[in-house]
Amino acid sequence: MIQLNKGAMFGLDARIALAIFGALSVISGAALYSAIKEAKLISEITEMNEIGKAVESYMLDTGEDLPFGGGMSAKTQELLSSSKSGWNGPYIAGSNSSVYFVSHPKYLWFTIDLAPNDDFGYSPDILTCSNVAHAGKTCYNWLVFSQVPDQLAIDLEAKIDGNNQPTKGRFRYAQGTRPAGYKITYYRLFPTMKKY
């Protein structure tokens, strides 16, 4: 009597099974990568919104905007310490690198710029609320991160605006004077209390 061993895979059966397992691992790997990327974008957007809430809390407590220092930037250090009446902070954790900039662990620093919602072009520094050309326009608080990796800036713009126009919309970016591989980013928070 001839005995056949059952249960062992030989030849074609083994190759088919390996092909199926290989295809499944590629599909699940791509899905995992996509899920990780999406989670990172959500985390970044949440952080930007939390900084926005800190600015808003400052405004509600003091009854005024962050002080405008000329140029575009507000005196962002006011989120960390201030002698203003009603101030109930610190509103964020961190340390200031100057009156205008707060150190950031991932993006070097951040600040709050005050600018209208116009198309920035690729030279956002020319847009300021105090510029006579913008008199009467609504001025906005913009969260600015100094050094955001290129691909993250592109992915955030696609997630937030989806318009593939880095100089328009709620989230914008430009090269500016950043090192290669990094962008300066702008995230529109909400209007200022003061009209310029």
122/140 Cα distance (integer angstroms)? 18
Residue 136 pLDDT > 80: no
The residues spanned by each domain of the chain are 12-191
Q: Tokens 């974008």 — which residue?
A: 41
Q: Which residue has the higher pLDDT, 74 or 49?
A: 49
Q: In this predicted structure, what is the pLDDT of residue 8?
A: 54
Residue 55 pLDDT > 90: yes
Q: In this predicted structure, what is the pLDDT of residue 134?
A: 63
Tokens representing residue 113 in the block: 């710029």
Residue 135 pLDDT > 90: no
54/178 Cα distance (integer angstroms)? 26
- Which pLDDT band, with edges at 50, 70 and 90, does 186 fall under? very high
56-97 per-position pLDDT tens digit: 999 999 999 999 876 678 899 999 999 999 999 899 988 877
Residue percentage of the chain with pLDDT more than 90: 38
- The CATH fold assigned to 12-191 is TcpA-like pilin (3.30.1690)
Q: In this predicted structure, what is the pLDDT of residue 94?
A: 81
Tokens representing residue 191 in the block: 């209007």
147/107 Cα distance (integer angstroms)? 5
- Which pLDDT band, with edges at 50, 70 and 90, does 25 fall under? confident
Give the H/E segment covering residue 188.
Answer: strand 182-191
Mean predicted lDDT score pLDDT of the chain: 83
